[in-house]
Amino acid sequence: MTVYDPPQGPLVILHSDHQVLLVDKPAGLLSVPGKGPDLTDCLIARVQAVFPDALLVHRLDRDTSGVMIFAMAPHAQRHLGLQFENRQTKKTYVARVWGEIAEKTGTVDLPLIVDWPNRPLQMVDHENGRSAVTDWRVVRKGGGETRVRLMPKTGRSHQLRVHMLALGHPILGDPFYATGQARDHPRLMLHSETLQFRHPDGGQGMRISAKCPF
Residues annotated as part of the active site: 61
Intra-chain end-to-end CA distance of the chain, in Å: 25
CB contact set of 145 (below 8 Å; sequence gap of 6+): 96, 97, 98, 99, 100, 172
Question: Residue type at 17?
Answer: D
Q: What does residue 159 show for φ and ψ, rounded to 5 degrees?
A: -55, -50
State whether residue 188 is helix, strand or coil: coil
d(Cα 121, Cα 114) in Å, to the nearest integer? 6
d(Cα 177, Cα 164) in Å, to the nearest integer? 10
CA-to-CA separations, 175 to 121, 126, 165, 214, in angstroms, rounded: 11, 25, 12, 17
